[in-house]
Structures are given as C-alpha cells and as structure tokens.
Amino acid sequence: MRGYRLDRMRRRVGYTVLGLSGTWLLWTLLPGMPVMRAPRASAEEQAVGEALFEHEWRPNDALARGDGLGPVFNGRSCAECHFQGGIGGGGDNKHNVLAFEAHPTRDNPDVRSGLVHKFAVEGRYAEKTNTLHDFFPIVPFGVKVEAGCQVLRQDFDPVRTESVNTTALFGAGWIDRIAAKSILHHNMTTSVSRIGQELSSDFSGITPGRPRILPDGRVGKFGWKAQFATLEEFVAAACANEIGLGNPKMPQAKPLVRSAYPEVAPDLDRQQFRALVAYIDTLPRPAMLLPESPRAQTRASAGEAVFRRIGCAACHTPDLGGLDGVYSDFLLHRLDDPSKSSNQYGGRETLEVPLPDQHPLPAEWKTPPLWGVADSAPYFHDGGSPTLETAIERHHGDAEPVCEKYSALAQSDRSALIFFLKTLRAPSDAKPAPSAPATNVALSR
C-alpha cells in the first residue's frame, strides 16, 4: 500500500514537472496574450505635465531647482520642436537635432554618442561639429603590418553626424506598453517563414529586420535607432539633452568643451518629472480618419489592401503586441541602396574596429510607426523626404522587393495607397499648437 502511494506521488511530481516545463515552452512560443490597459493619469498630474511641456525655460528659471535652461540646449521648450498636428506632434527640419556617434578605434574602443548642441547660455560653451575631432581624432593614413604583410591604411574618421527630425509623441504611452516579447516573437516568426521561403528557392522575400538589443539585454523601442527601451528613459534624456534640464533619472548635458561644468541640483524634482512623463504617456493616440463619402472610403480600403499586398505591412506591421494600427515592427532595417552607396560606413567591414554586434550600423534605422503619418512630414530620420511619395521612393536595401512592386503599380493603385496613408492622422483631440513659433513669444515678452 505504501509503495503504491509513493509511486502515485512520484507520478504526480513527474506530471507537475512535465506540466511546468510544457507551460514554459508554450510561453516562449506564444506571442503572449497582451491585454493592453489604456495609459492613465490624474487630471492634475496631466495639467502639471502639460505646463512643463509647453514652458519656455530660461537660465535660472523660477520653475527649476537647478540652473534652468542649458548650459547647452537645442530648444527652450518641448513644444517648440513637438508641434505638428498639435502639441506633442513631430517637428519641421528647422528644429532637427544634430546627433553624433564616435566609432571605436584601436586607441578608443568604445562607441560614444551624443548631440552637438545648437545653443549655449554662454558663448564659451558653444559646441561645433569640428570640436568633435578634438575628442575623437582622425586616425591618420599609414602603413601597418598585418600577418607579416604591409597593409596601407587610409585615414579613418571615427565621427559620424546625423541630423535627425523630431518624431511625434502621440500614442507614445501605448507603444511603451508593447511587450518586448511581442517584438521578439514577431521577429522570430517572420525570420522562420523567410527561411522556409528560401528553402523552397523563393528569394523574393523581405530580409527580416533585427531587434535593437540594448547593452543591458532589454529591447529598444523609442528613437530612430530604437535606442531607449522605455518612454520614461527617453523623456529623461530629452530633458537633459534638448533643454539642459537635469532630472531624477539623468543629469543635464554638460558642454562638450567644458566637461568640468559644475554639478548643480537637478532642475526637475521627482514630482515634476513624473508629471511630465504622465502627460506624454497619456497623449491621445493617432487615429485613422476615414472620409465620409462611401466612394472615398472604398478608395482608402483599396489603398490599404495595396499596402498589405505589395509588402509594406511586412515592416510597417499594422498590429503589434495587441496595439492595433501602429504600423511598425520596431526592428532595425537597412534601406540604403547598396549599389549606389558611396557610404563607406555602411558595412561593418570598413570600420577600423568592428562595432559591437548588437550596435546598429549607421545605415540601420528603426521602422517608424506610420500612425499619424499624414501629419508628421517631413519624413525619414533626417526629414529629407518632404512628401509621402518621396519617402516611399527612398526605400531600397531590405525593402527593394517592395519598392519594385510599388514602381510597377498602376497609377490608380499608387494613388489609392497614398490616399490610405493620408487617413492616418494625428489625434483629432490633440491640443492645437500656437501658430507663432513658441520661441518668438518668449523673446517678445
């Protein structure tokens, strides 16, 4: 009798172990059943956040706990750059930001990145692109010996600069709630189906992108290079780098030319910072705005069908991780034309010292969500494409098969596709931005 009981217990333990490991396996294979809760904040917190987002910061500002605006900055308020389609939207090219990345060299093996700020509160802190070479010098032309052979080495300039356009923040709270697992799962399933296609000798598919895995192992979602995993971290960096507002999560940017700039108290206290994050977290999400006439509606859905049929949806994934209508896979892709590229930095091979595997190449950019795209021109990371048509025509590299299908479309299909994209609008309840640029208001006060 005792033996029988023991046996039954052993079996139960066995079943439990089997059950647990089975559940674990299923968990990794399933996309996750994301139940997304709408971002929430109290009206009071939103109001404080909104006021901080629109506030015109000045040096030693009364609202700041530290030294206020600066010492170096790109704008005096968040709304100055984020205004298209309403407060919180994208920005024009005039407000682009100059980002730099210093690539590893033998003497300086880390990748460093930052911004070359447009403005400084004092002339002596002013930053210029040329200044970068004082810190990241060109590795000169020379002859080196490699495996017993003499190899001619060309000058290597480790510094890359990129002018980046302001992205819209509508719906950012929803994007923040997409589980990393959903992005990885989507990437895995598309990669597997691509391998399947190639095994059956079909090479017409789209090269799957890759997730941005940050040095701490998390998946990046925010920024043109998917350089931040959470909204809160991006907001902290935006405060510190764009306006020079130190906050509980990040100290303010110091002038490149004066790293010994004194430490000051964070400009934003915990409560202010939390309110600013809550405001952006709860900004309304973009919406599809369908025209009223049934004929126009048919045209929009025909356009959406073209979008899916020719493969735009492969990267601009309509629904991801339980978020409908976001149109992004949040993966890095290369859209540069390799045959044309004089871009010697495109491939890993031309770097003096290889970039870490997970680090994006200069030519890799995250698929931008297309929700709200009708109200966020100009397009692409550099704002170099003024219209939707020119943005589409700029797709090459990984998107080449789709680009070919797009060029072969009948004119009516092409215009239906554009018509569909134009239904993807900034939220209708976004707060209108003042017509005069905010900076002028402040200066005339």
The residues that touch ligand HEC, with contacts defined as CB under 6 A, are: 74-75, 78, 80-82, 95, 97, 99, 164-167, 169, 172, 206, 222-224, 231, 234-235, 238-239, 242-243, 276, 280, 310-312, 314-316, 333, 335, 365, 367-368, 370, 373, 376, 379-381, 388, 391-392, 395, 398-399, 402, 406
Residue placing its CB nearer to ligand HEC in the complex, 87 or 238: 238
Tokens 């299909």 correspond to 413
CB of 228 to ligand HEC, least distance (A): 7
Q: What does the CA dihedral 11, 13, 18, 21 come to, rounded to 10 degrees?
A: -170
Residue placing its CB nearer to ligand HEC in the complex, 74 or 423: 74
CB of 353 to ligand HEC, least distance (A): 24
Q: Which of 88, 86, 49 is nearest to 279 (CA)?
A: 49
Tokens 């949806």 correspond to 313
Residue placing its CB nearer to ligand HEC in the complex, 136 or 406: 406
Residue placing its CB nearer to ligand HEC in the complex, 20 or 408: 408
CB of 96 to ligand HEC, least distance (A): 6
CB of 171 to ligand HEC, least distance (A): 9
With 0-12 / 13-18 / 19 or more C-beta atoms within 10 angstroms meaning exposed / middle / buried, residue 409 is middle
CB of 10 to ligand HEC, least distance (A): 53
Residue placing its CB nearer to ligand HEC in the complex, 46 or 376: 376
Residue placing its CB nearer to ligand HEC in the complex, 80 or 157: 80
Q: Which of 115, 100, 380, 131 is nearest to 243 (CA)?
A: 115
The CB density around residue 51, as the number of other CB atoms within 10 Å, is 14
Residue placing its CB nearer to ligand HEC in the complex, 105 or 165: 165
CB of 394 to ligand HEC, least distance (A): 8
The CB density around residue 74, as the number of other CB atoms within 10 Å, is 22
Q: Which of 212, 93, 99 is nearest to 159 (CA)?
A: 99
Asked whether 226 and 366 are in contact (CB, 8 A), the reply is: yes
Q: Distance between CA 86 and CA 71 in Å, rounded? A: 29
Q: Distance between CA 122 and CA 396 in Å, rounded? A: 44
Asked whether 71 and 120 are in contact (CB, 8 A), the reply is: yes
CB of 300 to ligand HEC, least distance (A): 14
Q: Half-sphere exposure (CA, 13 Å, Cβ side) for 77?
A: 24
Residue placing its CB nearer to ligand HEC in the complex, 139 or 403: 403
Q: Residue 343 is encoded by which pair of tokens?
A: 């871009």
Q: Which of 175, 171, 170 is nearest to 320 (CA)?
A: 175
Asked whether 249 and 233 are in contact (CB, 8 A), the reply is: yes
CB of 163 to ligand HEC, least distance (A): 9
Residue placing its CB nearer to ligand HEC in the complex, 250 or 399: 399
Q: Which of 49, 440, 44 is nearest to 239 (CA)?
A: 49
CB of 316 to ligand HEC, least distance (A): 5
Asked whether 161 and 99 are in contact (CB, 8 A), the reply is: yes
Residue placing its CB nearer to ligand HEC in the complex, 158 or 244: 244
Contacts of 118 (CB under 8 A, 6+ apart): 73, 74, 98
CB of 281 to ligand HEC, least distance (A): 10
Q: Distance between CA 30 and CA 283 in Å, rounded? A: 30
Sign of CA dihedral 225, 93, 334, 138: negative
User: Could you tell me the end-to-end alpha-carbon distance of the chain, in angstroms, rounded to an integer?
Assistant: 92
